[in-house]
Amino acid sequence: MNKIIVTRQIPQKFISQLEDIAEVVVWNESLIPMPRDKFLAEVQDAIACFITLNETIDETCLANAPHLKVIANMAVGYDNIDVNIAKQKGIIVTNTPEVLTETTAELAFTLMLATARRIVEAEKYVQDGQWKSWGPYLLSGKDVYGSTIGIFGMGDIGKAFAKRLKGFDTNILYHNRSRHEDAERDYNASFVSFEELLEKSDFVVCTAPLTDETKYKFNAEAFAKMKTDAIFINIGRGAIVNENDLVHALNTGQILACGLDVLEQEPIDVEHPLLKMPNVVIVPHIGSASEYTRDRMVQLCVDNIKAVLNNEPAITPVSS
Ligand code: GLV
């Protein structure tokens, strides 16, 4: 029994590498996740799984996977996996850190500039034929230059984001579980409490992972502390934000705008109130989506599977 499951269509050059070591069952769809029932049926005799953040690896799934040795998650975040139970069962879980850091920081930067300068609104204005003349305050936004940026989550992506701010003469604040002296030294970032970050930042940028501590961290109380002209960016995970509270904060002018790469429910319901707001920019969870980076993420998953099945240490195992 030697079966590897791949829950999404990936280029054949990667599948071939796995075929060299085992039978490979691929769900050959690029945009439709493997149905849960099918996954649960396939995992019963699998030794390895290549999964995406759409698969929930919980107790039910792991109880059903007696031969599983490794789960390679094609993402840096792994809140979709019960790592503690996997560990109890001796299953190695791996993720894809580092290879996606710069690309994801660039998306955060894109969302910051797009919301600050109202790019999506402006483009729609032109497309809709509303552009009649130059106007003194037409679509005027907010400068990133010279502003205070509050980074919530100073991991690799937070640091790569801070590095990009260098040319913008900003004042960088950050909040994180622990201090990062390298970020303080290299980017002149100041460690502050969560409250101070909210109160002082012109842009609050969330790059944190979803954990018990960060779930719904951005709620009514947090938005109420932010500046009324603050812009909120989230590239971490949707459930770090209470979306009803975010809608309320935007509707009542508690904050100015937001840019989101992640939502609690993905895909977002097309009737969701956030989609009706001109000051909200939403993209479909594409933080790490450059061709180069996605190739590197897939290769890292394949390499992790190969290593574990070869009785070698995983390259990027996650700790619980
Ligand atoms: C994407 O969200 C990831 O965690 O890599």
Question: Ligand 1 centroid to 261 CA: how many Å?
Answer: 10
Catalogue the active-site residues. 237, 266, 285
141 lines ligand 1 (CB under 6 A): no
b/e map of 41-52 (b: 16 or more CB within 10 Å)? Answer: ebbebbbbbbbb
- Per-residue pLDDT at 288 exceeds 80: yes
Task: Give mean pLDDT, residues 249-271.
Answer: 98
Going by CA atoms, what residue is nearest to atom 1 of ligand 1?
75
- Per-residue pLDDT at 320 exceeds 80: no
Q: Tokens standing for 300?
A: 């890292």
Contact 286, 261 (CB under 8 A): yes
- Mutation probe of ligand 1 site: the residue of 53, 106, 111 with most atoms within 8 A of C-beta: 53
Going by CA atoms, what residue is nearest to atom 3 of ligand 1?
75
b/e map of 254-280 (b: 16 or more CB within 10 Å)? Answer: bbbbbbbbbbeeeebeeebebeeeebb
77 lines ligand 1 (CB under 6 A): yes
100 lines ligand 1 (CB under 6 A): yes
pLDDT at 319: 87
Task: Give mean pLDDT, residues 294-306.
Answer: 98
Question: Ligand 1 centroid to 82 CA: how many Å?
Answer: 16
Radius of gyration of the chain (CA): 21
Mean predicted lDDT score pLDDT of the chain: 98
75 lines ligand 1 (CB under 6 A): yes
pTM of the model: 0.97
Contact 204, 197 (CB under 8 A): yes
pLDDT at 1: 63
144 lines ligand 1 (CB under 6 A): no
